[in-house]
Chains A and B, each alone.
Chain A
Amino acid sequence: MTITPSIKKDYLINLAENGKRTDGRKFDEFRKISIETGVISKAEGSARVKIGNTQVISGIKMDIGEPYPDSPESGVMTTAAELIPLASPDFEAGPPRENAIELARVVDRGIRESELIEVDKLCIEPGEKVWMVFIDIHILDFDGNLFDAASLASLAALLTTNVPAERFDLGEDYPLPLKEPPISCTSVKYKDTVVMDPSLDEEEIAEARLTVATDINGHLRAMQKGLNGSFTVDEIKKVIKASIDNGRKIQEQLYKSVGK
């Protein structure tokens, strides 16, 4: 496992006390984000997102299946994430551990709670057949902030997904029915400093982490606090405000990349 030298932690904390980050960013500034869609031909929708050097691919596959008994006229959505050993010397092969599971569930929550996918339009035969949407997140390069990269890749993939109706003899393919996408912004805290879009260095010394997903109206859709440190109420409010601001900017970039 990679060890973080203790002097690195001191260095980052000292810089932060002078209002700086190692790469010169402001505390609430994101690294360069690049979004590329349609990268996997076998998937019904796909996207590759880079935030700094962090790289994630998300692929959407669709199939027909049975609805959940308590929602017989709704489509089904599931999200899975793989922290494949490709992406970091610290990722091990094997079934998803808690990190991967938490990542998948947080991304899932953001998408589900914002009702991004209009699942009531994915019914084929009530109680019998509905469309199932599988979101699979593959981390390729880990350099900090997997939550936001994974979430953004999944959104970009969904926004360019076509329901494969032809393959199942259900008419012509059509775009997956969607509403407004929520944007996730993650911050971490080390000592008394809170920074957004943590680089790998910052994540390695982070004591607490907060992911906030906001929608186009600046409302909250999902939140997750991680790691065993704590946030003050004040810090949380500041993070929410910065997440709303950044969320708006990132949403614009997202729409541009899918041609809206």
Chain B
Amino acid sequence: MINTEVKLFENGKRIDGRKPDELRKIKIEAGVLHRAEGSCYLEWGGNKVIAAVYGPREAIPRHTQNPLRAIVNARYNMAAFSVDDRKRPGPDRRSREISKVISEALENVILLERFPRASIDVNIEVLDAEAGTRCAGLTAAGVALVDAGIPMKDIPVACAAGKIEDQVVLDLGKDEDNFGNADLPIAISPRTGEVLLLQMDGHLTLAEFDQALDLAIKGCHIVSDIQKKAIMDKYQSTQGGTTQ
């Protein structure tokens, strides 16, 4: 999109006052729903997402069952009221693609062989959207999976970097996403640094890509700490062994 109206940089600061390598404000809460086996509510900038996990449970219909391992059904959905112009309810092609790449990222870290013929159902609802919903959704899903007691080799986390006005920045906000030059959302396994999800659109030179990837990974690690703190906060206070 050619930007002639919005100035994305002013005195080295972005529209919302952030530095190039600064994340938006993030708040994470684990175990927020009563029926779901695991859940998480997450706010990231103007994004509000909620994730819920059911399972492992026998996969239905039967023909979807894998005799050797569990399958992961992640479903990413945007509420009709989550965007400026009301979105018609129901999955569109974009939602289905995002659901797929998130499922694949989660399958990497979940110990699937433990549950042959089962499915682990992850539901991500975007209630309020402001650029970076798939990263917010996957990050919330990671926490919800832990909250559900699903065995995993790591807690997946996501973050995006991008390019605005020829500068590589971390965590694009709304206008930056609309008027920027590139967007690179990624998800990693923080323990090993392996990349589980990667998408890119826009225009980046190799050098810019290296910069953006590096920045996004750094961002992921910061968010990972916030995820872990949210889990400990939930379980430490009610369940933690504190001396009496």
Contact = CB atoms under 8 A, between A and B. Distances in A.
A226 interface: no
Task: Bin the interface of chain A by size.
Answer: 20 to 34
A60 B85 contact: no
B84 A42 contact: yes
B164 interface: no
A215 interface: no
Given A61-B80, A93-B75, A138-B79, A40 B127 contact: yes
Nearest to A164: B84
A61 B35 contact: no
Interface string B85-125: 11001110000000000000000000000000000010101
Interface string A43-80: 10010000001010101110100000000000000001
Interface string B60-74: 000000000000000
A134 interface: yes
Interface residues of B, number: 33
A190 interface: no
Nearest to B84: A42
A86 B52 contact: yes
A134 B125 contact: no
Contacts of A88: 35
A19 interface: no
A85 B123 contact: yes
A142 interface: yes
A96 B48 CA distance: 23
A55 B32 CA distance: 11
B36 A86 contact: yes
A26 B90 CA distance: 39
A24 B121 CA distance: 34
Interface string A70-114: 000000000010101111110001011000000000000000000
B129 A42 contact: yes
Best-buried of B57, B83, B84, B127 by chain A (most CB within 10 Å) = B127
B86 to A, nearest CB: 4
Contact of A87 (B35, B83, B90, B121): B35
B219 to A, nearest CB: 23
B128 A40 contact: yes
A137 B93 CA distance: 22
B153 to A, nearest CB: 26
Nearest to A136: B80
Nearest to B37: A89
B189 interface: no
Interface string B21-58: 00000000000011111010000001010111010010
Given A42-B129, A89-B54, A143 B34 contact: yes
Nearest to A63: B86
A89 B148 CA distance: 13
Contacts of A28: none
A110 to B, nearest CB: 20
A80 B80 contact: yes
B81 A42 contact: yes
A6 interface: no
B82 interface: yes
Contacts of A86: 33, 36, 39, 50-52, 123, 125
Contacts of A63: 85-86
B80 A95 contact: no
B77 interface: yes
B81 A136 contact: yes
A222 interface: no
Given A40-B81, A63-B86, A86-B36, A138 B127 contact: yes
B33 A82 contact: no
Given A86-B123, A93-B75, A40 B54 contact: no
A59 B35 contact: no
A141 interface: yes
Sorted from nearest, which 4 A-B pairs have the closest CB atoms?
A59-B81, A61-B86, A136-B80, A53-B34
Interface of B: 33-37, 39, 46, 48, 50-52, 54, 57, 75, 77, 79-86, 89-91, 121, 123, 125, 127-130
10 contacts: A41-B46, A57-B79, A59-B81, A82-B79, A84-B77, A89-B35, A136-B79, A136-B89, A143-B34, A143-B35
Given A42-B81, A42-B129, A80-B89, 6 more contacts: A43-B128, A61-B81, A82-B79, A85-B54, A95-B90, A140-B125
